[in-house]
Amino acid sequence: MKIVTINTEKTQNIFDELQTSFGGKVTFDLDEYSLEVENSFAEGAIIGASFNDNISYVQFDMTFSIDVRLDILNVKSSPIYFAYCSKGNLSHSFGLNGEERKLKTFQTAIVTSKNNEDNILFFEKGKKTKLTLIVVGTQIDAASQTHSLNQQVKDTFFENNQASDFFYIGSYNLQIAEKIEQLNSITQTGIVRNLLKEGIMRIILAMEIQQHSDDLHAFANEANGLTLRELEEVKDLSEFIKSNPEEAFSIKSLSKKSGLSPNKLQEGFKMIHNRTVNDYITHMRVLKAEILIRTSDLNISEIVYCIGFTSRSYFSKIFKQKFNCSPKEYKFNLNSLAITA
């Protein structure tokens, strides 16, 4: 087992220590750090950045050739860690002698140590692991203490729990996985990238806090009865529909393809997308139509039929609901902008 120690809370120093342990090359762009690694010991990337309100994040997308123990030392304070595992699994313990608890794919975790115990993460060899850690600092400037986000987060979880360690494992949640994919798909650079990332990161933080609240009130009981395998099937099916929205899908054919009952399909889509299966298919078709209007020479009627709709009037109705104008007006506005550009 390889032991890696992080004994600093500063993002730059964290990446210096990670590079020393894993090798690879660190790049920097406007407060965002990225470590690319490809050697006999490890392969993948680690990225991270710091934002306002003493909030930062570190994201691992790594495969190790041997087991790795990552010791995160509590140097000055005990931050609150909001974790989400998008792929694989890993374990956590407070200190070397603490109980190991496993974080599985699509699960959230909220962790902090009020006894200043170190946070220990265990990565298994040969398994691709994607982990997003949002770190909320607990050291707060007295001048902004009342209104700062990290003070509010601290009060929300630990107002009456100041003396003990806190560890929470949440229900399975694929909506957070989708939001993390959105975070990782940002192509902009510089300050635009930084602002977009900070906005999405705060949404993910809000979703994790909401997940905790829902679990406490028993509104989300073990992902509404769906198993991890069933959740993965729903996620794969969602991606298939997204890539091929023009196909003539039916609940029966999708049920057969995924091996899930129609009720399980509907339950999964409502949980992940807050839509029925048919609503999700329609949503993806409208998004595909918008792309074709912008990027192709097809007329509206051709677009309607090539994305799987049979009624132009129905397509125009739902398009207007989403974009606040008809497809024809949308295309006209695009052409007008192109002429004046």
pLDDT tens-digit series, residues 33-60: 999 999 999 999 999 998 887 889 999 9
Task: Answer yes or no: are the C-beta atoms of 91 and 121 closer than 8 Å.
Answer: yes
Q: What is the mean pLDDT of residues 196-208?
A: 91
Q: Nearest 5°: phi and psi at 89?
A: -160, 165
How, if at all, do strands 2-6 and 68-72 pair?
parallel
Q: What's the pLDDT at 279?
A: 93
pLDDT attached to residue 31: 79
Mean pLDDT of 3-10: 84
Q: pLDDT tens digits for 134-168?
A: 988 876 555 555 556 666 776 666 655 555 678 88
Given the structure tokens 């009624």, which residue do they identify? 311
Distance CA 151, CA 153 (A): 5
CA 160 from centroid of its chain's CA atoms: 29
Question: Residue 221's pLDDT is what?
Answer: 47
Locate all alpha helices (DSSP H) within 226-326, ordered by sequence: 228-243, 251-258, 262-273, 277-295, 300-306, 312-323
* pLDDT band, residue 219 (cuts 50/70/90): very low
Per-residue pLDDT, 147:
58
C-alpha closest to that of 315 among 292, 338, 340: 292
pLDDT above 60: residue 339 = no
Closest CA to 62 of 46, 78, 80: 46
Domain ranges of the chain: 2-216, 223-340
Tens of pLDDT, residues 235-274: 889 989 999 999 989 999 999 998 889 988 998 888 878 8
CATH top-level class for 2-216? Answer: mainly beta
pLDDT for the residue 217: 67
**Per-residue model confidence (pLDDT) at position 171:** 77
Pick the CATH number of 223-340 from 2.70.98.10, 3.30.70.20, 3.30.2130.10, 1.10.10.60: 1.10.10.60
Q: What is the pLDDT of residue 140?
A: 59
Convert the pLDDT of each residue in 81-135 to its tens digit: 999 999 999 999 988 888 899 998 988 999 888 767 889 999 999 999 999 999 8
pTM above 0.75, yes or no: no
Q: pLDDT digits over 296-314, tens only?
A: 889 999 999 899 888 899 9
CB 299 within 8 A of CB 335: no
